[in-house]
Amino acid sequence: KPALQAELSKELQLYYDHIVATLRSPDCPRKTSTLQHVASDPGLQQLLPYFTRFIHAEVAASLKSLPRLASTLRLAAALLANPHFSLEPYLHQLLPALLTLTLGKPLHAKPAKPSVPPPIDPATDHWSLRAAAAALTARLARSFHANYASLQPRITQTLLAAFLDPAKPPPTHFGAIAGLAALGPRVLAAVWIPHVPAYVAALRDALAGTSKKHRRFEIARVAAALVAAVAAVAEAGVMELKGEPAVAKAEAEDVEMEEDGVVAKEEEEE
């Protein structure tokens, strides 16, 4: 429990313990209603430092438990949704946790024999979790941009650095693309699009260089995210895609379709 325990009334301490127990329970039917209460109750400001400290610690301690990470992310979303909360003093705890959920490796226990493609479940799938964390990170940046002008540029640079690091695994690159896309097409056009052609070339080489089903599926998920992000830039009219970016988009679509064809063929054979 947080070291601030002595400052809470018995009633608030019991309520905090109830929230934590509910979040950690895998099948608690009251989880949604409990989080809705957190997102709307004006009388919980005193619990805010407890909640943000819990989020920071829980993410660090639960990197191989997707259900716990998903519940923790839902709590962060509830805090941000509550109009009565003042979150500025706790950004230093919330932001690193959200970026870990977006970019971290690993965010799940490695299965003994992974299926291809893995089952997609918003509560347990790390791809969905990363995309949701990316969206919440962008929302946090927009909410506090007026008071912290450097916040979004710092987030952008963190995401871009993860995307450009060839040592990072495909899930981290996926999270970086999702995070940059969540910041909007202007951010994508300004800082990300110039790097797309070289990245797609590396992506095609990575696909050609591996026969591992799980890794090929990961590469295809990254390619799909990349195609969607480039399309968002074009659809927003921020810039007209010509030359290398347009070719890179087409090549990324080929990577995605190529792996989709492999998976479909394998499923037919099974």
Amino acid letter for position 156: T
Dist CA 253 CA 243 (whole Å): 16
What's the pLDDT at 248?
Answer: 59
DSSP state of 111: P
Contact 59, 101 (CB under 8 A): yes
Dist CA 171 CA 130 (whole Å): 9
Dist CA 98 CA 135 (whole Å): 10
What's the pLDDT at 270?
Answer: 42
> Is the bond leading into 106 cis (omega within 30 degrees of zero)?
yes
The Cα-based distances of 183 to 23, 83, 85, 97, 153 in angstroms read 28, 22, 23, 18, 10
Looking at the chain, list the stretches that DSSP marks H as alpha helix, in order from N- to C-terminal side.
10-24, 31-38, 48-61, 66-81, 91-103, 126-143, 151-164, 170-182, 185-187, 196-208, 213-236, 244-269
Dist CA 131 CA 116 (whole Å): 20
Which of 101, 83, 11, 93 has its CA nearest to residue 50?
93
Percent of the chain surpassing pLDDT 90: 66
pLDDT in tens, 170-215: 999 999 999 999 999 999 999 999 999 999 999 999 999 999 988 9
Dist CA 169 CA 166 (whole Å): 8
- pTM higher than 0.75: yes
Ranges of the chain with pLDDT below 50? 1-3, 5, 112, 116, 118-119, 122-123, 261-270
Integer-rounded Cα radius of gyration of the chain: 20
Dist CA 82 CA 109 (whole Å): 32
Dist CA 251 CA 88 (whole Å): 43
Dist CA 144 CA 42 (whole Å): 20
Query: CA 85, 124, 222, 242 torsion: positive or negative?
Result: negative
